[in-house]
């Protein structure tokens, strides 16, 4: 089985971990990627794969090149894709970009994966999705939540394949004190980790307000570690305003630095609690899955696909007061905190949210349409 796999965004587990686990199951994968995606995690998996993953770099993916994207796509990328298809002869095209040139390729079966939650989809979205439905042999959604919206809104059926996490990398094997030592964090602190892009839809303000009004500030040495990227400048200003307003300056660290994938497990293993405040997610966020696989107790907003991804392996909240109560429940009850850490970890294994299982599901789909 030969698959031309089109990468998307900064979903490292998906772009590179998934192809890697496919190659371990005997699939020949050629990843259609760009320089930014390679730097954002591709190098790690290419080294692990030892030549079993091949890739073709069709653009840089760097902001300065975006103005040239149309020209590059029309004059160079199409020719390169044609040459790639002619020499590689894939059995299946794995497409993630709704505007992908690969939809124009004839006589090769295609799957298209919708990575969004579809929470903000409208009837106007259906026109583009109908085109994709007509030109793809199968549409994949990452959650039953998205599958239901797609069916009800557009009358389009899809196959659900959840995102997965690399448990060879994200696991609870590293002791918490060692992780904190390597990060230079105080081993006596109660560390709450929040990891997402700095955007209003990610809801960090809810956590800041909940923490500001929580009694744990007087009873514990609390640290909220915000690991973030892709900054929405206006929202970032608002977040910093809230931190100053509630006098949380000494209790919050905002880390906007880029961290190589292989070092990210340190942050999860250093944390006592992981909180997902997002209003909308394709499947509970990959960072939440990473935290679960690391054995960290999870608190997540009761919205979008979060409840589906977390299931009963953590606590859900509806508003700021709920979130504050959930944090206090874990902080004041070490046994409950430990219990939900185990629940999160076993939830990953029991529900098949590991990349080897996800890879097998995609391979089964390939075989159905090829």
Mind listing the pLDDT tens digit for each residue in 144-184?
999 999 999 999 999 999 999 999 999 999 999 999 999 99
Count of domains forming the chain: 2
The pLDDT value given to residue 265: 98
The pLDDT value given to residue 214: 98
Tell me: do 112 and 231 sit in the same domain.
Answer: no
Q: With respect to residue 12, please indicate whether it lies within any of the assigned structural domains.
A: yes
Q: With respect to residue 60, please indicate whether it lies within any of the assigned structural domains.
A: yes
Q: With respect to residue 91, please indicate whether it lies within any of the assigned structural domains.
A: yes
Tell me: do 29 and 52 sit in the same domain.
Answer: yes
What's the chain's length in residues?
Answer: 370
Pull the structure tokens for residue 365: 């789909």
The pLDDT value given to residue 69: 45
Tell me: do 125 and 211 sit in the same domain.
Answer: no
Residue 298: C-alpha distances to residues 162, 200, 205, 340, 341 (Å):
18, 20, 18, 7, 7
Q: Please, what are the averages of pLDDT over each run of 10 residues along the chain (370 residues)?
A: 92 94 96 86 92 80 44 61 84 93 92 95 88 94 97 96 97 97 97 97 98 97 94 95 98 94 96 98 95 98 98 97 98 98 97 98 97
Tell me: do 190 and 100 sit in the same domain.
Answer: no
Q: With respect to residue 140, please indicate whether it lies within any of the assigned structural domains.
A: yes
* In contact, 55 and 45? CB cutoff 8 Å: no
Q: Residue 18: which CATH number? A: 3.40.50.2000
**β 273-276/298-301 pair status:** parallel
**β 252-255/159-160 pair status:** unpaired
Pull the structure tokens for residue 147: 């599958």
Tell me: do 94 and 155 sit in the same domain.
Answer: yes
Instruction: Note the pTM of the prediction, 2 decimals.
Output: 0.94
The pLDDT value given to residue 77: 63
Tell me: do 268 and 358 sit in the same domain.
Answer: no
Tell me: do 298 and 198 sit in the same domain.
Answer: yes
Q: With respect to residue 171, please indicate whether it lies within any of the assigned structural domains.
A: no
Q: With respect to residue 170, please indicate whether it lies within any of the assigned structural domains.
A: no
Tell me: do 223 and 137 sit in the same domain.
Answer: no
Tell me: do 185 and 334 sit in the same domain.
Answer: yes
Q: Which domain holds residue 283?
A: 176-350
The pLDDT value given to residue 73: 52
Task: Classify 30 as helix, strand or coil.
Answer: strand
Q: With respect to residue 169, please indicate whether it lies within any of the assigned structural domains.
A: no
Secondary element (H or E) of residue 43: helix 43-49
* In contact, 33 and 58? CB cutoff 8 Å: yes
**For residue 94, which phi and psi values (nearest 5 degrees)?**
-105, 105
Total Cβ atoms within 10 A of residue 107: 4
Tell me: do 46 and 186 sit in the same domain.
Answer: no
Tell me: do 160 and 184 sit in the same domain.
Answer: no
Tell me: do 149 and 243 sit in the same domain.
Answer: no
Q: With respect to residue 257, please indicate whether it lies within any of the assigned structural domains.
A: yes
The pLDDT value given to residue 64: 37
Give the whole-angstrom CA distance, residue 137 versus residue 370.
Answer: 9
Give the whole-angstrom CA distance, residue 254 versus residue 74.
Answer: 40
């Amino acid at each position: 089985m030969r698959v031309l796999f089109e990468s998307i965004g900064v979903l490292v587990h998906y772009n590179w971990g998934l192809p890697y686990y496919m190659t371990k199951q005997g699939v020949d994968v050629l990843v259609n990627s760009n320089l930014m995606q390679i730097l954002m995690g591709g190098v790690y998996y290419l080294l692990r794969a030892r030549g079993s993953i091949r890739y073709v770099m069709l653009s840089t993916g760097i902001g300065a090149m975006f103005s040239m994207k149309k020209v590059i796509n029309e004059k160079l990328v199409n020719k390169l894709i044609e040459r790639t298809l002619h020499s590689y002869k894939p059995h299946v095209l794995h497409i993630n970009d709704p505007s992908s040139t690969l939809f124009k390729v004839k006589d090769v079966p295609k799957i298209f994966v919708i990575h969004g939650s579809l929470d903000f989809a409208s009837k106007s979205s259906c026109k583009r999705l109908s085109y994709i439905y007509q030109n793809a042999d199968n549409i994949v959604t990452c959650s039953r939540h998205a599958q239901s919206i797609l069916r009800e809104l557009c009358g389009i059926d899809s196959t659900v394949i959840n995102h997965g996490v690399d448990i060879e990398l994200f696991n609870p094997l590293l002791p918490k004190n060692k992780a904190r030592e390597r990060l230079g964090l105080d081993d006596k602190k109660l560390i709450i980790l929040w990891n997402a892009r700095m955007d209003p839809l990610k809801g960090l303000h809810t956590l800041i307000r909940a923490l500001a009004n929580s009694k744990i500030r007087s009873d514990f040495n609390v640290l909220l570690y915000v690991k973030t990227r892709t900054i929405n400048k206006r929202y970032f200003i608002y977040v910093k305003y809230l931190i100053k307003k509630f006098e949380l300056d000494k209790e919050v660290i905002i880390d906007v630095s880029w961290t190589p994938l292989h070092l990210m497990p340190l942050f999860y293993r250093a944390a006592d609690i992981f909180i997902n405040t997002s209003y909308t997610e394709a499947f509970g966020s990959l960072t939440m899955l990473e935290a679960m696989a690391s054995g960290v107790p999870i608190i997540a907003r009761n919205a979008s696909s979060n409840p589906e991804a977390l299931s009963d392996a953590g606590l859900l909240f509806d508003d700021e007061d709920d979130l504050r109560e959930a944090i206090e429940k874990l902080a004041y009850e070490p046994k409950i905190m430990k219990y939900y850490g185990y629940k999160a970890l076993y939830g990953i294994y029991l529900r098949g949210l590991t990349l080897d299982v996800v890879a097998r599901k995609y391979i089964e789909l390939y075989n159905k349409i090829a």
